């Protein structure tokens, strides 16, 4: 009995310090560097974030450790904005040496027939056609440092990710059903929220 306990304790001591090791790269900076993952980060990932605002493309490519729950690709579409996060994950040491996935737009994502309300500088009575797996409508209220609203289409997983995408002061809600994110009056700075989106989406 004591021998079995000793063997179990020895096994725990030998394996307890193990953690996954992944490549670390941000927009080709620190290329071929590696990082030890935290205990909750069980995957190595290659990811690509793309943000289109009024047709201008902003892109971030990254290799790093991630949680298993973060290994899902998603997108959002609004009147003048489209944001995409594409990722591929693996679970062995330094396995994330492959190129980041191409963006959904590069894959010619097609409209899926669903529509949601969206906003521009005049209000939130515009509608936008959803693309790919965007099966939810979203609304983001940003209250600090000024009140702003953004609406549009989102993939299901994006509804759990847009909080960090817009920052700590954003209130994000999602719903299912055509045009379920109802119209509301806009008296805020749409341009400010677009700038906030660029900052949080690409730098966090």
Residue-range domain boundaries for the chain: 19-203
CA-CA-CA-CA dihedral for 54, 199, 51, 153, to nearest 10: -90
CB 105 within 8 A of CB 84: yes
User: What's the pLDDT tens digit per position in 150-164?
Assistant: 899 999 888 866 544
What is the rounded distance in angstroms from the CA atom of residue 124 to the CA atom of residue 128? Answer: 11
CATH of 19-203, one of 3.30.830.10, 2.40.50.100, 3.40.50.2000, 2.10.60.10: 2.10.60.10
Name the percent of the chain lying above pLDDT 70: 70
Q: Specify whether the CB–CB gap between 96 and 44 falls below 8 A.
A: yes
Which is more confident, 6 or 64? Answer: 64
Burial class (CB in 10 A: 0-12, 13-18, 19+), 126: middle
Q: Tell me whether the omega of the peptide bond preceding residue 59 falls within 30 degrees of 0, making it cis.
A: no
């Amino acid at each position: 009995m004591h021998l079995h306990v000793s063997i179990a304790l020895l096994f725990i001591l030998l394996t307890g310090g193990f953690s996954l090791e992944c490549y670390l790269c941000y927009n080709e900076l620190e290329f071929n560097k590696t990082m030890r993952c935290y205990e909750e980060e069980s995957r190595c990932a290659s990811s690509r974030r793309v943000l289109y605002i009024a047709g201008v493309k902003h892109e971030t490519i990254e290799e790093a450790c991630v949680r298993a729950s973060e290994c899902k690709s998603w997108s959002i579409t609004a009147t003048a904005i489209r944001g995409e996060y594409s990722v591929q994950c693996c679970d062995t040491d330094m396995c994330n040496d492959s190129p980041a996935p191409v963006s959904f737009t590069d894959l010619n994502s097609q409209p899926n027939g669903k529509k949601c309300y969206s906003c521009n500088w005049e209000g939130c009575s515009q509608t936008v056609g959803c693309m790919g797996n965007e099966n939810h409508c979203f609304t983001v209220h940003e209250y600090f440092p000024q009140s702003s609203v953004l609406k549009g289409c989102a993939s299901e997983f994006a509804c759990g990710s847009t909080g960090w995408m817009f920052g700590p002061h954003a209130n994000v809600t999602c719903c299912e059903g055509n045009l379920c994110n109802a119209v509301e009056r806009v008296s805020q700075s749409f341009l400010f929220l677009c700038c906030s989106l660029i900052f949080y989406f690409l730098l966090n």
